[in-house]
Amino acid sequence: MAASPHPAIVLVRPQLGQNIGKAARAMLNFGLTDMRLVAPRDGWPNPDAGPAASGADVVLERARLFDTVQEAIADCSTVYASTVRRRDLVMPVVTPEAMAEDIHASDAASAILFGPERSGLETEEVAMATAIVTVPINPEFGSLNLAQAVILLAYEWSKSNTLAVPPDKELEPAAPHAELEGLIAQLDSELFDKGYFHPPSRTQATRNTLRTIFTKTGWSSREVKAIRGVVRALVGPPRNRG
């Protein structure tokens, strides 16, 4: 199946250029570049947006300016209104996961609306959407800033999209048991010489605890050698640093 179009991020009456820049940064982190600005308070372009974008200049350069929400979403078949406030509207309310699934399941253009920093979307603007998307957050403190809201929904969309991820580093094989026994015996001997095991009645229990620390973690041979070197350094004479 062909990849679905990337959703447009529509910022409705954003107030600060810095917040527009931070939203652009959030978008580009997850592969989104279609930013649409509806009547930004301080006009557009805004000199404060660039520094806040931290290199996401391509998003700002491509950003399109609209006078109304209707114009901004005119080419979109599916529109989600991001809000955490309850409204007297009879319309679907979906999770970010459901929103992402619906976007990926369709080849139609889509958009996500975000309201002004202080007040959020007006009820009339929410009513233009296909559904409300709400991020599950603390009901006693529902205070996401604009960039946080953008990054959460962009991330959710990106999880089903193909983005570059750091390659997994092949894990080292676990050390043979004999190597672990050597480490444990070395540590046990040095601790005994230092009088660590006290009181005597707890000696075996303490030894068992130390053994489980080293046998349940899957140490590699390299790691075992490193720890044995640490033990030798701690109990031996200081090296001459001259």
pLDDT(57) > 80: yes
Cβ neighbours for 37, distance < 8 A, ≥ 6 positions apart: 10, 11, 14, 20, 44, 63, 64, 65, 66
Whole-number CA gyration radius for the chain = 28
Give whichever of 1-5, 26-30, 91-95, 202-206 has the largest mean pLDDT.
26-30
Query: What is the torsional sign of CA 52, 57, 61, 64?
Result: negative
Exposure b/e, 77-86, CB count within 10 A at least 16 = b: ebbbbbbbee
pLDDT at 2: 45
Q: Binning pLDDT at 50, 70 and 90, where does residue 118 land?
A: confident
Q: Which residues, 6+ apart, have CB-to-CB distance to 106 below 8 Å?
A: 4, 77, 78
Q: How far is it, in rounded angstroms, from Cα 105 to Cα 190?
A: 63
Cα angle value 164/168/173 (rounded, 5°)? 175
Number of residues in the chain: 242
Q: Which of 217, 215, 190, 188 is nearest to 204 (CA)?
A: 188
Cα–Cα distance for residue pair 106/182, rounded to 1 Å: 60
- Mean pLDDT for the stretch of residues 76-98: 87
pLDDT at 153 (0 to 100):
96
pLDDT tens-digit map of 15-47:
999 999 999 999 999 999 999 999 999 999 999
> Beta-carbon neighbour count of residue 120 at 10 Å?
21
Q: What domains appear along the chain, each with residue ranges and CATH number?
A: 8-158 (3.40.1280.10), 177-235 (no CATH)
User: Strand pairing of 78-82 and 110-114?
Assistant: parallel
The three-point CA angle 152-25-32 to 5° equals 70
CA-to-CA distance for 49 and 36, rounded, in angstroms? 14
Contact (Cβ atoms closer than 8 angstroms) between residue 53 and residue 176 = no
